[in-house]
């Protein structure tokens, strides 16, 4: 009840006194850029008194020009109650709380806060405008703005118009709570692709919404960026391939190094490599490493090398029991993949294709060598075959070998061949009277030794021999059993002993002896005939006389002429040789008709069966009756019709005896020659070759 009464009373009193002063417009908070003009409005109604402005409670004065405040003044029509405060240019110190006061009316406007904005200066990037970085190495870019900007600016990073996140913002305070500067640190790990890139640091605040930018260019030092190519990429084995290694780097490239499969390629130093490709290039790539002052980088590439099959894993021999499964495998490598086939040695039928051969439930007939074969590649290289032996473990296989027939009561030998895998525990010979495994028993002896070559796939071979000493009649009518046993069973065969009769052998020996006797008699007869014929021929020869020129009988001719090897015929004198006889040793001796009264020296000759060169006679040195240099040999056989089956050789020089039984006279009449009886085909005898004796008289030696 009391409140309504007071309101009514107040209304009545106001209406009686008139309208009271009041604010038509009060100042409001403002934001002004540094250097711009600030205007704080103030309008009063029904007031005609003093109006003033206060700054943070400090009165600026009641005059319109506000003396003492050069940048401040009050504008507006005072009569109409307009009292606006102007500040130009606004400085940072103008930021304060302002009030418009009607002092006489006791009115105060609400406080108006003036905010002065200081736009930031363009930021500074440390190390700019070009920053040198190393690719791959983490780095920090620092953008800094001075702290006198108001409000504190925001530092942002941009690349190609796109804002970069992750920057760290940091303020550096000064004394008295003022801010000295602000920084923004951008962390990045540059790559070679960042070389030459431009980054922008923007300082932005309420005072400068568009902000101010500072750009920086990245200058990167980076290790080489390598690209490696091969031409051609697909190649046949044995062809040439060219590798090209290209690189971009800052600073420039300082060296190249090539490797294949991790092993250096000796002698390769430049950006290009030419090499002959082989199968290893398929799995051992070629790499190129490029270096500069910052670091190095490498790239590798593998070639598509087409090559013929290469055997990597041979099939292994197998030994399985009969009835079990067998499996072989072999591995061939090639590009393209080779076709592998399996056959059995000696059989062209393909058993399987691929790296594996499976033989289910093998039997003895499956034992043998199996061949894994790969055909050559497109280049004609590679390929080949590999084989492995399948040994089937089965009961022994026993075969009787040929045994030579034996004589009664003589030695005998029986043999059997045993093939078995596993090796038989023993080989047993048995007969009616008993058995024998090894060693001797009575007339029997057993020996067992390896066969020279086993049957393929059936294990090693054994030869067992049963020796019998002093065979008996019963040995030829009974069978001898050869039996072998191993863990899978036993096998055996029967061997019989053949008999050899004595009569055919005696006949053969007698025939051979008769032929030998006949041949011996023929040879003996031919030899006697030849000897007799030679003796008869010698008895018909003419004696050839030579008168030496000295008492000691030495020849005046050389040794070649004495041995009768000269081809010319010398002067000889034809005389009878009835007084030449053969001694017991076959040599000719001369008779001395003077019984030693005269000292007559003769010539000894020897008789030799066979043919001499030309079938002629070798005679003493030439007579001085003939010219010098004439030989002492002449072939009479063609003219006398003689068979040259025997020769007459002179053994030493000397004098022939006179052809008559009486003593020599002091004169020898030259013998005249007449033509002999010639055979129809005999050429005429050259009688003119005999010269006339030059000495009519001869002296005897007494």
Tens of pLDDT, residues 60-88: 888 888 888 999 999 988 888 899 999 99
pLDDT for 379 equals: 67
Chain segment 265-305, per-residue pLDDT in tens:
988 889 999 999 888 888 899 999 999 988 899 999 988 88
Task: Give the pLDDT band of residue 190 (cuts 50, 70, 90).
Answer: confident
Q: Is position 659 within any domain? A: no
Is residue 326 domain-shared with residue 380, that is, in the same domain? yes
Mark whether 425 and 357 lie in a shared domain.
no
pLDDT in tens, 363-416: 988 989 999 999 887 767 778 899 999 999 889 889 999 889 999 989 999 999
Q: Determine the average pLDDT of the residues in 641-645.
A: 42
Under the banding of pLDDT at 50, 70 and 90, the label for residue 18 is low
Domain co-membership, 257 together with 296: yes
Q: Is residue 43 part of a domain?
A: yes
User: 186 and 139 in one domain?
Assistant: yes
371 lies in the same domain as 444? no
The pLDDT assigned to 433 comes to: 78
More confident residue, 506 or 688: 506
In a domain, 287, yes or no: yes
- Average pLDDT over every residue of 676-699: 40
60 lies in the same domain as 82: yes
Is 0.75 topped by the overall pTM? no
Percent of the chain with pLDDT over 70: 70
The answer to whether residues 382 and 411 belong to one domain is: no
Instruction: Please choose, from the candidates 626, 641, 610, 609, the residue with its C-alpha nearest in 3D space to the C-alpha of residue 566.
Output: 626
Instruction: Tell me, yes or no, whether 487 lies in a domain.
Output: yes
Which of 87, 117, 147 represents a domain boundary (last residue)? 117
Task: For residues 293 and 229, state if they share a domain.
Answer: yes
pLDDT at position 631 over 50: no
Which pLDDT tens digit goes with each residue over 663-678? 333 334 444 334 444 3
What gap in Å lies between CA 153 and CA 204, rounded to an integer?
5
The answer on 109 and 77 residing in a single domain is yes
**One-letter-per-residue 3-state SS of 127-193:** CCCEEEEECCCCEEEEEEEECCCECCCEEEEEECCEEECCCEEEEEECHHHCEEEEEEEEEECCCHH
Residue 327, in any domain of the structure: yes
pLDDT at 193: 82
Is it the case that residue 160 has pLDDT exceeding 80? yes
Higher pLDDT, 337 or 272: 272
- Counting the structural domains of the chain, the total is 5
Q: Assess whether pLDDT exceeds 80 at residue 112.
A: yes
More confident site: 647 or 306: 306
Last residue in a domain, options 306, 332, 353: 306
Statement to judge: residues 230 and 284 lie in one domain? yes
Residues 214 and 129 in one domain: yes
Q: Given pLDDT bands bounded at 50, 70 and 90, which one contains residue 209? A: confident
Where does a domain end: 441, 463, 496? Answer: 496
- 140 exposure class (CB count in 10 Å sphere: 0-12, 13-18, 19+): exposed
Question: Rounded mean pLDDT of 447-455?
Answer: 76
pLDDT of 158 reads 93
CATH (domain of 141): 2.60.40.10
Note whether residue 74 is domain-resident: yes
Residue in this structure with the two tokens 């490696």, named with its chain if needed = 228
Which structural domain, as residue segments, surrounds residue 362?
Answer: 312-392
pLDDT of residue 72: 94
Q: Is residue 669 included in any domain, yes or no? A: no
Give the pLDDT of residue 503.
63
174 shares its domain with 236: no
Q: What is the pLDDT of residue 550?
A: 37
Is residue 147 domain-resident?
yes
Mean pLDDT of the chain: 75
Classify 370 in phi/psi space as left (phi over 0), alpha (psi -120 to 50) or beta: beta
Between CA 476 and CA 122 the distance in angstroms is 132
């Amino acid at each position: 009840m009391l409140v309504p009464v007071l309101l009514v009373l107040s209304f009545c009193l106001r209406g009686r006194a008139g309208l009271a002063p009041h604010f038509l417009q009060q100042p409001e908070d403002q934001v002004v850029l540094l250097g711009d003009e600030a205007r704080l409005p103030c309008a009063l109604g029904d007031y005609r008194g003093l109006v003033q402005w206060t700054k943070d409670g400090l009165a600026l004065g009641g005059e319109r020009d506000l003396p003492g405040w050069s940048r401040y003044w009050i504008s507006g029509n005072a009569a109409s109650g307009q009292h606006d405060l102007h500040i130009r240019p606004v400085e940072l110190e103008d930021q304060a709380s302002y009030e418009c006061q009607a002092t006489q009316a006791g009115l105060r406007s609400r406080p108006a806060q003036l905010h002065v904005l200081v736009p930031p200066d363009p930021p500074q990037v440390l190390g700019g405008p070009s920053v040198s970085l190393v690719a791959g190495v983490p780095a920090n870019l620092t953008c800094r703005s001075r702290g006198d900007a108001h409000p504190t600016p925001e530092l942002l990073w941009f690349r190609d118009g796109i804002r970069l996140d992750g920057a760290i913002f940091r303020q550096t305070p000064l004394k008295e709570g003022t801010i000295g500067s602000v920084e923004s640190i951008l962390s990045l790990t540059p790559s070679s692709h960042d070389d030459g890139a431009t980054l922008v640091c923007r300082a932005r605040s309420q005072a400068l919404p568009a902000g101010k930018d500072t750009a920086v260019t990245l200058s990167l030092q980076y290790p080489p960026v390598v690209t490696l190519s091969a031409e051609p990429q697909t190649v046949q084995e044995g062809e040439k391939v060219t590798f090209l290694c290209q690189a971009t780097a800052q600073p420039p490239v300082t060296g190249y190094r090539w490797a294949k499969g991790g092993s250096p390629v000796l002698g390769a130093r430049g950006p290009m490599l030419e090499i002959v490709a082989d199968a290893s290039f398929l799995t051992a790539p070629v790499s190129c490493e490029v270096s500069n002052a910052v670091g190095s980088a490498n790239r590798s590439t593998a070639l598509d090398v087409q090559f013929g099959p290469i055997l990597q894993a041979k099939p292994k021999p197998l030994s399985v029991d009969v009835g079990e499964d067998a499996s072989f495998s072999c591995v061939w490598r090639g590009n393209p993949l080779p076709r592998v086939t399996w056959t059995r040695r000696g059989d062209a039928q393909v058993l399987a294709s691929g790296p594996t051969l499976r033989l289910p439930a093998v039997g003895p007939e499956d034992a043998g060598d199996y061949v894994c074969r790969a055909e050559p590649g497109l280049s004609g290289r590679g390929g080949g075959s590999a084989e492995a032996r399948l040994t089937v473990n089965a009961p022994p296989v026993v075969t009787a070998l040929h045994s030579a027939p034996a004589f009664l009561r003589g030695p005998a030998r029986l043999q059997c061949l045993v093939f078995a895998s596993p090796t038989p525990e023993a080989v047993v010979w048995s007969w009616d009277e008993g058995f024998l495994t090894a060693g001797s028993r009575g007339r029997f002896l057993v020996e067992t030794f390896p066969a020279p070559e086993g049957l393929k796939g059936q294990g090693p071979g054994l030869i067992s021999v049963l020796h019998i000493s002093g065979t008996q009649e019963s040995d030829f009518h009974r069978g001898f059993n050869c039996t072998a046993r191993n863990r899978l069973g036993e096998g055996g065969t029967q061997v019989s002993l053949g008999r050899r009769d004595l009569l055919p052998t005696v006949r053969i020996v007698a025939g051979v002896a008769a032929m030998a006797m006949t041949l011996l008699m023929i040879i003996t007869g031919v030899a006697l005939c030849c000897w007799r014929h030679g003796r008869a021929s010698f008895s018909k020869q003419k004696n050839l006389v030579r008168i030496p020129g000295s008492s000691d009988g030495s020849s005046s001719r050389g040794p070649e002429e004495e041995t009768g090897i000269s081809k010319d015929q010398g002067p000889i004198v034809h005389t009878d040789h009835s007084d030449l006889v053969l001694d017991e040793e076959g040599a000719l001796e001369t008779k001395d008709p003077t019984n030693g009264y005269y000292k007559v020296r003769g010539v000894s000759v020897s008789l030799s069966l066979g043919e001499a060169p030309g079938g002629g006679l070798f005679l003493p040195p030439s007579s001085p009756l003939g010219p010098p240099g004439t030989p002492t040999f002449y072939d009479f056989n063609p003219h006398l019709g003689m068979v040259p089956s025997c020769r007459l050789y002179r053994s030493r020089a000397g004098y022939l005896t006179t052809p008559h039984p009486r003593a020599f006279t002091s004169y020898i009449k030259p013998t005249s020659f007449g033509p002999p009886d010639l055979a129809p085909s005999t050429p005429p005898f050259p009688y003119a070759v005999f010269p006339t004796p030059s000495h009519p008289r001869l002296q005897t030696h007494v």
